[in-house]
Amino acid sequence: MIYAKRATLKLRREWKKSTILFLLIILLSSMVTSTMIINFAVERTREQVESNMIPSAVIGIDYTEVSKYGCPTRRPGANFNEIPVVPVVSPELIRQIAALPYVSHYEYFTSFDFYSPSLTDYRPVLDNGLSMSDDWWWGDLGFPIKVRGVQRPYFYEIEQGMIELVSGRTFSDEELTNLSNVVMISEGFAIANELRIGSKFPLVNVIFDPTKVFFAPDRNKENTLAMESYDVEVIGVFRTNVTSVYEGYFVHLELKYEFGNRIYAPNTFVEMASERTEFMLAGLDPTGWGDWQDYFEEWTEEVEIADDGTIISPAVMMFNLSNMVARENNTMRTEAVFMLDSPRSISDFVETANDLLPPFHMIVIGDNHFHEILSALTVIESTFSMLLLVSILIQVLILGLLITYFMRNRKREIGIYLSVGVAKGKITLQLIIEILLVAVFALVISLIVGNLLASRLADRLILNDLLTYVEQSNVYIPGGILMDRFGLSSGQALSNVINRYDVSLNVLNTIIIMGVGLGATLLATFIPIMRILRLKPREIMM
Same domain for 360 and 221: no
Distance between CA atoms of 522 and 520, rounded to whole angstroms? 6
Residues 54, 70: Cα–Cα separation, whole Å: 38
In a domain, 516, yes or no: yes
One domain for residues 343 and 428: no
What's the rounded Cα separation, in Å, for the pair 40 and 462? 13
* pLDDT at position 157: 87
Query: Would 426 be classed as within a structural domain?
Result: yes
* 190 and 283 assigned to the same domain: yes
15 lies in a domain? Answer: yes
Q: Residue 317: how many CB atoms within 10 A of its CB?
A: 14
Can you give the three-state secondary structure of 289-344, one letter per residue? Answer: HCCHHHHHHHCCCCCEECCCCCEECHHHHHHHHHHHHHHHHCCCEEEEEEEECCHH
Same domain, 233 and 217: yes
**pTM (two decimals):** 0.61
Q: Residue 339 domain-assigned?
A: yes
The answer to whether residues 385 and 512 belong to one domain is yes
Map residue 105 onto helix, strand or coil: strand
Amino acid 360: pLDDT: 85
Q: Are residues 127 and 74 in the same domain?
A: no
Q: Is residue 74 part of a domain?
A: yes
The pLDDT value recorded for residue 114 is 95
Contacts of 260 (CB under 8 A, 6+ apart): 122, 124, 186, 188, 189, 240
Residue 300 pLDDT: 37
Residue 299 in domain:
no
Give average pLDDT by consecutive 10-residue segment, the chain, 542 residues: 60 72 85 85 75 76 73 58 75 91 90 92 77 68 91 88 92 94 96 95 91 79 90 95 61 82 95 91 58 40 50 59 72 86 82 89 72 71 86 87 76 70 73 79 87 73 59 48 55 57 78 87 78 61 56
Which of 317, 349, 367 delimits the end of a domain? Answer: 367
Q: How many domains does the chain have?
A: 3
Same domain, 386 and 529: yes
Residues in CB range of 168: below 8 A, 6 or more apart: 184, 197, 234, 235, 236, 237
Quote the domain boundaries for residue 248.
110-290
- Looking at the fold, whether 40 and 14 belong to one and the same domain comes out as yes
Contact, 427 vs 533, CB < 8 A?
yes
Same domain for 521 and 378? yes
Last residue of a domain, one of 347, 367, 387: 367
Q: Are residues 397 and 460 in the same domain?
A: yes
Q: Is residue 300 part of a domain?
A: no
Neighbours of 507 (CB within 10 A): 7
Tell me, rounded to whole angstroms, the distance of Cα 45 from its chain centroid: 14
- The type of residue at 337 is V
Same domain, 377 and 440: yes
Q: Where among 290, 322, 346 does a domain terminate?
A: 290
- Is residue 301 situated within a structural domain? no
pLDDT for 169 equals 96
State the pLDDT at residue 24: 85
156 with 235, same domain: the answer is: yes
What DSSP line would sit under 152-173, residue for residue?
STT-HHHHTTSEEEEEE----H
Phi, psi of 224, rounded to the nearest 5 degrees = -100, 155
